[in-house]
Structure 1
Amino acid sequence: MGTRLKVLRAFKALHRTRMDVFKEDDRALTAARFKINEEYRKNKEETSEENINKMIKMSSDVESILRLNVIQAEHLSQETIQLRPRKSLLLENVPYCDQPRTKS
């Protein structure tokens, strides 16, 4: 696969993840779009294959961190924050229990 295609795929993956992670948050969507585009524009003249591959790897790592570690939260009041985790983050729901588990 050509380098240009790899860069384009990484760019699109970041934007798809941005749309999912910051869904319904226009301010965060705009800021993330601006930052992604700014970083790609800043490096568009890079010709070193090694540097380009490092940047593609970094882009992939950032996309993964956004997808796996960012949860939306909304301030509802001075003392209340509502979390909006994405379904892809809800892998296992284990009820909290104060008592330690006993071995069976």
Structure 2
Amino acid sequence: MGTRLKVLRLFKALHRTRTVVFKDDNRALTAAKLKINEEFQKNKNETSDENIKKMIKMGTDVETVLRESVVQMEHVGEKKLLLRPREDLLLENVPYCDQPRKKS
């Protein structure tokens, strides 16, 4: 796959992830959009394959962190926050056990 295509796919993936992660938060949506566009614009004239690969790796890592680690919270009172996790972040909760299970 060509480098240009990889960069464009990453650009689209970051914007798609931004819309999912910051849903209903116009301020965060706008800030993320501006930051993504700024970073891609700043590096649009890069010609070194090595540097481009590093930036693609960095962008991919950022997209993964956003998708897997960021949750939304909303102020609902003086000292209260409402957690709004996305469905894909909710994992099955397995209780901790000090003793490992014996295989049968």
- Scaled by the length of structure 1, the TM-score of the pair is 0.89
State how many pairs are aligned. Answer: 100
Aligned-residue RMSD, C-alpha: 1.7
Gaps of 5+ in 2: none
Letter in 1 for 2:25: D
Deviations 1:66-100 (A, max 9, x none): 011100000001121000000000011357xxxx8
Residue 74 of structure 1 pairs with residue 74 of structure 2: yes
Gaps of 5+ in 1: none
Deviations 1:48-67 (A, max 9, x none): 01100100000000000001
Q: Which stretch shows the higher mean deviation, 27-36 or 85-94?
A: 85-94
Residue 10 of structure 1 pairs with residue 10 of structure 2: yes
Which of structure 1's runs of 4+ aligned residues deviate more than 6 A? none
- Scaled by the length of structure 2, the TM-score of the pair is 0.89
After superposition, the Cα gap between the structure-2 partners of 1:50 and 1:78, relative to the gap in structure 1 and judged at 3 Å, is: same
Q: CA deviation at 1:101?
A: 4.9
